[in-house]
Chains A and B, each alone.
Chain A
């Protein structure tokens, strides 16, 4: 074996006192803090989703009032985007990037801690807004003025404050990742030997650095309009209501790629390991990430096809949105080609990765409908969009994230999550997901707008009921995951060793969990699969 079976340090790094978690600047512990916090917010956002689905199960249901529904709908969106997917990817990146590039830590460990604590604070501010005068914001996560300037209570102000704090947190996190990836790679790790997950984190971080200032500017103008008497977005005072949409989506659409690129990175790590093959087209995947990152800056107005843009603009944003489908398609075909003639091992991480390909493909294809702007005039702001975005962000991002959790859990905690429960988790989630979101395409085409708290059309009831039942199946799947986590911790299961999956990348070289300084010694990296190289060298020596 190339790798040690027993940890060198008798007291593993994660068994500290409570206070050591608060004061820690270790990237691994901060990563785990991120992951745990995000999973808790995921539970909260999920409960909100189930409340909404319950309200929509039947026509004219009275389970939630209009006001409560609108609060729940807004906070669900903000939670899942800003408190779950973006930061949980920061969590993965925190834990994995230094391990994958053979570094002791990130470039700025204290800044890293600040970024986590700001994130937690931002989340608490958002949830505290439920108790503000007037309740939480009732604007949808997009906070469009003039509506968001109409509400008298403090819900919107707290949402703005929360997003401001979260942007600062993401921004310093992103700068930290960029410096880490560019400066702290192991000897021999040239750019063409960097793991694809790290490539994707680098693009993720660059996008955040470029677009977060736009969000901050937009939110600041909104706050000034609300509290300081300015009129940036108030048409009756000479402002422009559509301006905010441009600013918001200049941030908001790249944000979508922020939420998917690192997940594509996770998939690019899992598929080859469980196919027992190298990734097909490493260079193409790496540069596809860069291309997606670049084009993501040029597609924002496809969220605004119904505001009355001039035809040349409609054409431009349709074409740019379709161009971005090309690098995305390249990745999917490369993953498929990686499985070709492989030795496919269906452990839970692989199931989630294959589920990602199946579902993300649907989300990508429904995106073509939305990019075709005349079709978008029908589909925009309808349940078709709700279905599309969940196929991309849940069927895509969350499936990949769960795959990543099952894959790296043994590295983080020294034990594998239970495989049987893992498979239950996957299949329940896969079936529940499709039940919930597939019918929503049809509802949208039939004329059901998004963000309505009730409806009285009998013809929408069947699909809505199926969707609600599906959401309960998904909730059951998440409960199986929670049981799995508790079970694995309690039962103290089988130790996984350093390298349970026969991985390719450097994190599997060190102990599980890794010591505080990560590596005793970092091997000289000779390819994008340093661990396989080591294994082969050992075999040769043995032979």
Chain B
């Protein structure tokens, strides 16, 4: 290759590198767009740590990539023979010690900040502006989330909580199930729901609203459909909701169908992975249906194992009403 062409090619390559790095930089700056707004103090603590780490790594990024580009431009071949050698420098002990010590200090700094911020992220406050802390049992199931409230009410996939009250989550999975992970990014980091193990996490929604989340640990065929959301409402509204939820079976039936059945059988019961429900004989036979829900069959997990009689009855009634007729 003649020298001018080679030089042109080199500059094309270099400008592309520069472009790529500028793009990367812009994207990094755009990380603010991607980092979800924190709706809870613990998620806020994590976000603060994220920005600390991003700041530190951002500086290192600019130094290392900047030096790389600078050296590539500055010390490029410029038509020298391949045999032309650079200075034969084999090392520099003091310099090497310095660039070993500095990263150690930087990392020690990050570690210190982590332990300084940790109590605010990990420890559950006893009370919030709207009242004392409240415990909710979270059960990860193939492929839905089951929430049990202090009064015994149950909801599926939708977790309704009072805003500005600490919600203490007791996270687990039934011993016959698999590992899931509860994750609503705006409110809290993940916590795995593990069969045979009980984990704890918490959040306190700062304002009413809906916060999306989903299972983060691969849990089987419909892992992608294992969605959940938290609906934070004013305390009074929560109290009336949870009282109603305990008794109104139509709510429970629909919710259970949409959370536990629909991912595989479809929202209209049209059948996706599981068979279509419309006119299905099992639905007309409560005893058979109960057995199927409790034990599972083939690819169907035992979705109804451990449900309260109320839940079972509500779902059975809902299925009958929606799908049994007209077969």
Residues of B with C-beta under 8 A to A329:
99, 103
Instruction: Give the complex CA separation of A457 and B72 in angstroms.
Output: 42
Instruction: Select which of A311, A358, A434, A449 is within 8 A of B23 by beta carbon.
Output: A434
A179 within 8 A of B: no
B135 within 8 A of A: no
B216 within 8 A of A: yes
Residue of A with least CB distance to B211: A447
Instruction: Give the complex CA separation of A334 and B219 in angstroms.
Output: 43
Give the contact stretch, choosing among A155-163, A292-300, A362-370, A486-494: A362-370
Give the contact stretch, choosing among B86-94, B308-316, B318-326: B86-94
A282 within 8 A of B: yes
Smallest CB–CB gap between B251 and chain A, Å?
23
Instruction: Give the complex CA separation of A347 and B45 in angstroms.
Output: 47
A502 within 8 A of B: yes
Instruction: Select which of A144, A307, A357 is within 8 A of B218 by beta carbon.
Output: A144
Q: Are B192 and A276 in contact (CB under 8 A)?
A: no
Q: Are B50 and A375 in contact (CB under 8 A)?
A: yes
B177 within 8 A of A: yes
> Known contacts being A147-B219, A375-B46, A375-B50, is A344 close to B71, with CB within 8 Å?
yes
A242 within 8 A of B: yes
Instruction: Give the complex CA separation of A358 and B72 in angstroms.
Output: 12
Question: What 0/1 pattern do residues 303 to 318 of A give for CB contact below 8 A with B?
Answer: 0001110010001001
Instruction: Give the complex CA separation of A439 and B27 in angstroms.
Output: 8
Instruction: Give the complex CA separation of A380 and B17 in angstroms.
Output: 30
**Which residues between 190 and 246 of chain B lie within 8 Å of chain A, taking CB atoms?**
190-192, 194-197, 199-200, 212-224
A319 within 8 A of B: yes
Instruction: Give the complex CA separation of A500 and B23 in angstroms.
Output: 36
**Which residues between 75 and 91 of chain B lie within 8 Å of chain A, taking CB atoms?**
75-77, 80, 82-91
Residues of A with C-beta under 8 A to B68:
336, 339, 354, 357-358
Give the contact stretch, choosing among A7-15, A105-113, A203-211, A423-431: A423-431
Q: Are B223 and A451 in contact (CB under 8 A)?
A: yes
- How many residues on the B side are at the interface (Cβ–Cβ under 8 A)? 96
A280 within 8 A of B: yes
Residues of A with C-beta under 8 A to B20:
430-431, 434
Residue of A with least CB distance to B98: A333
Instruction: Select which of B77, B178, B194 is within 8 A of A307 by beta carbon.
Output: B194
> Known contacts being A146-B178, A361-B65, A445-B36, is A343 close to B53, with CB within 8 Å?
no
B35 within 8 A of A: yes
Instruction: Select which of B43, B85, B103 is within 8 A of A325 by beta carbon.
Output: B103
Residues of A with C-beta under 8 A to B82:
276, 343, 345, 501-502
Residues of A with C-beta under 8 A to B43:
378
**Which residues between 148 and 171 of chain B lie within 8 Å of chain A, taking CB atoms?**
none
User: Which residue, A70, A279, A374, has most C-beta atoms of chain B within 10 A?
Assistant: A374
Residues of B with C-beta under 8 A to A438:
24, 27
Residues of A with C-beta under 8 A to B194:
235, 241-242, 307-308
Instruction: Give the complex CA separation of A236 and B218 in angstroms.
Output: 20
Question: What 0/1 pattern do residues 44 to 79 of B give for CB contact below 8 A with A?
Answer: 011001100110110011001101100110011100
Residues of A with C-beta under 8 A to B222:
66
A180 within 8 A of B: no
Q: Are B111 and A308 in contact (CB under 8 A)?
A: no
> Known contacts being A140-B218, A427-B13, is A377 close to B61, with CB within 8 Å?
no
Residues of A with C-beta under 8 A to B273:
66-67
Smallest CB–CB gap between A272 and chain B, Å?
10
B181 within 8 A of A: yes
Residue of B with least CB distance to A315: B115
Question: A interface, by DSSP: helix, strand, loop or mixed?
Answer: helix
Instruction: Give the complex CA separation of A315 and B115 in angstroms.
Output: 8
A397 within 8 A of B: no
Residues of B with C-beta under 8 A to A315:
115
Give the contact stretch, choosing among B117-125, B126-134, B283-291: B117-125
Residues of A with C-beta under 8 A to B122:
311, 374
A452 within 8 A of B: yes
Smallest CB–CB gap between A237 and chain B, Å?
9
Q: Are B224 and A341 in contact (CB under 8 A)?
A: no
A526 within 8 A of B: no
Q: Are A146 and B177 in contact (CB under 8 A)?
A: yes
Residues of A with C-beta under 8 A to B110:
322, 368, 372
Q: Are A377 and B46 in contact (CB under 8 A)?
A: yes
A512 within 8 A of B: no
Smallest CB–CB gap between B147 and chain A, Å?
19
A175 within 8 A of B: no
A35 within 8 A of B: no
B257 within 8 A of A: no
Instruction: Select which of B72, B89, B214 is within 8 A of A344 by beta carbon.
Output: B72
Smallest CB–CB gap between B218 and chain A, Å?
4
Q: Are A275 and B190 in contact (CB under 8 A)?
A: no
Instruction: Give the complex CA separation of A133 and B16 in angstroms.
Output: 49
Residues of B with C-beta under 8 A to A423:
9, 13
> Known contacts being A280-B89, A345-B77, A368-B53, is A150 close to B220, with CB within 8 Å?
yes
A283 within 8 A of B: yes
B189 within 8 A of A: yes
A342 within 8 A of B: yes
**Which residues between 423 and 479 of chain A lie within 8 Å of chain B, taking CB atoms?**
423, 427, 430-431, 434, 438-439, 441-443, 445-447, 449-455, 457
Instruction: Select which of B56, B111, B221 is within 8 A of A66 by beta carbon.
Output: B221
User: B residues touching A (Cβ–Cβ < 8 Å)?
Assistant: 1, 9-10, 13, 16-17, 20, 23-24, 27, 30-31, 33-36, 43, 45-46, 49-50, 53-54, 56-57, 60-61, 64-65, 67-68, 71-72, 75-77, 80, 82-92, 95-96, 99-100, 103-104, 107, 110-111, 114-115, 117-118, 121-122, 175-179, 181, 183, 185, 188-192, 194-197, 199-200, 212-224, 273
Additional A-B contact list (17), CB under 8 Å, known A67-B273, A144-B178, A147-B219: A146-B179, A242-B194, A276-B85, A284-B96, A306-B192, A325-B103, A339-B71, A339-B72, A345-B77, A361-B61, A374-B46, A374-B117, A375-B53, A376-B189, A378-B190, A445-B31, A449-B183
* 22 intermolecular pairs with C-beta atoms under 8 Å apart: A67-B221, A276-B83, A277-B86, A277-B88, A279-B90, A280-B90, A281-B92, A306-B192, A322-B107, A322-B110, A337-B92, A341-B89, A342-B75, A343-B80, A343-B85, A344-B71, A374-B45, A431-B20, A451-B218, A451-B223, A452-B224, A453-B224
Closest 6 CB pairs of A and B: A377-B189, A235-B196, A452-B224, A442-B34, A308-B199, A236-B175
